[in-house]
Copies of this chain bind each other. A is one copy, B any other.
């Protein structure tokens, strides 16, 4: 069938997206149209007191849709918090799921739907190999409507659910097209409730989704070529379709992220970032991400005492977007020589004049562009400022190794020594 060792095809899958200010007011009608009789509404304790959840509840009540609410989703979920949501879902015998929240809520809801539809499965069965067994999903999941309230994860468009595996102190996840929400209901009014630092950190996630999917190994260089199309992974490498999304998302980040962070009432900027999150999600959901995301999982998983401003949680966390962006200058300096044109184009979209820059300098120029962008947005000065020292690097490297599903999409091959150097170079940014 396929004599080449590398893949020769890619597949684009994306959720249906409905976008509009106030669109969540319709959700009760959608659930009625779907014949829903027993809806599971998932959210977190902060959001359950805020308008995005209030609007959904009003609409459900108005249209006589029965539901149960689960508001114990953990921000930056863990295997334990996933399992608690799964138990709730199994006991509820729900016919439709609605997730109102950021990536943590949507990812938790995907996992709850998956394991409630596969009640015989063990938790590790569907978790990505090598940590889990990465088994194929054979059951038909229940419909899931995702209502994102942050502008970052793009989880409403993807088949990915990420969690922190506490024993391993590393994030991992479940990646399968079957997890894709049925509909992403993108209501830009919801993002007006994001605290400034949440807007910044979720925006960094968009930035890195776009940069990493744009610079990921091209699909035709990824190996092995699957012997059966069903084995083609969700993360397939950069391709002409994901490139369109990545470039476009990057342009919006360049134009609007600073405004969205500075002024929660800037509807144009916050709406635009909300759509950018969708665009970048469709892009990376098919192309994949690479080193910033792969290295972020142990950065978040090994957190000791860092308390993130703007996050109303009781445990120390490094917000996902922050854990991703802190290594970005070092990462793109490292990968640039494999596709310097793309690194220069990214720097240009982010506002740097690259007309007289040589290809050899592409990495330095994109890294400088990112440092300056992060400085303007008052991002913490590297890993050292969130509690890490040189002594932590071996465990950070160790935590990155199992992320091969992601890191193998780096355009440049890397050793443990390279990862060590990347973490070391990310200790201080400015």
Q: Judge whether A357 is part of the interface by a CB distance below 8 angstroms.
A: no
Pick from A13-21, A166-174, A200-208 the stretch touching chain B.
Answer: A13-21
Q: Judge whether A118 is part of the interface by a CB distance below 8 angstroms.
A: no
Q: A16 contacts which of B12, B21, B30, B279 (Cβ < 8 Å)?
A: B12
Q: Smallest CB-CB separation from A186: which chain B residue? A: B9
The answer to whether A12 and B8 have CB atoms under 8 Å apart is no
- Please, which residues of chain B bring their CB within 8 A of the CB of A7? 20
Q: Smallest CB-CB separation from A7: which chain B residue? A: B20
The answer to whether B18 and A240 have CB atoms under 8 Å apart is no
Q: Judge whether A26 is part of the interface by a CB distance below 8 angstroms.
A: yes
The answer to whether A244 and B241 have CB atoms under 8 Å apart is no
Q: Judge whether A25 is part of the interface by a CB distance below 8 angstroms.
A: yes
Interface string of A215-239 (1 = CB under 8 A from B): 0000000000000111000000001
- Please, which residues of chain B bring their CB within 8 A of the CB of A17? 11-12, 241
Interface residue tally on A, bucketed by range = 35 or more
Q: Smallest CB-CB separation from A9: which chain B residue? A: B20
Tell me, in angstroms, the Cα distance from A1 to B27 when the chains sit together.
Answer: 11
- Please, which residues of chain B bring their CB within 8 A of the CB of A245? 244
Interface class of chain A by DSSP = mixed
The answer to whether B244 and A18 have CB atoms under 8 Å apart is no
- Please, which residues of chain B bring their CB within 8 A of the CB of A8? 20-23
Docked complex: A339-364 residues within 8 A CB-CB of B: none
The answer to whether A33 and B244 have CB atoms under 8 Å apart is no
Q: Smallest CB-CB separation from A23: which chain B residue? A: B9
Q: Smallest CB-CB separation from A226: which chain B residue? A: B26
The answer to whether B33 and A228 have CB atoms under 8 Å apart is yes
The answer to whether B26 and A1 have CB atoms under 8 Å apart is yes
The answer to whether A19 and B248 have CB atoms under 8 Å apart is no
Q: Judge whether A275 is part of the interface by a CB distance below 8 angstroms.
A: yes
The answer to whether B229 and A29 have CB atoms under 8 Å apart is yes
The answer to whether B30 and A229 have CB atoms under 8 Å apart is yes
A-B contact list, 12 entries, CB within 8 Å = A1-B26, A9-B18, A9-B22, A9-B23, A11-B16, A12-B16, A12-B17, A12-B19, A19-B240, A30-B229, A33-B228, A244-B245
Binding site for B on A (CB under 8 A): 1-2, 7-14, 16-23, 25-26, 29-30, 33, 228-230, 239-241, 244-245, 248, 275, 278-279
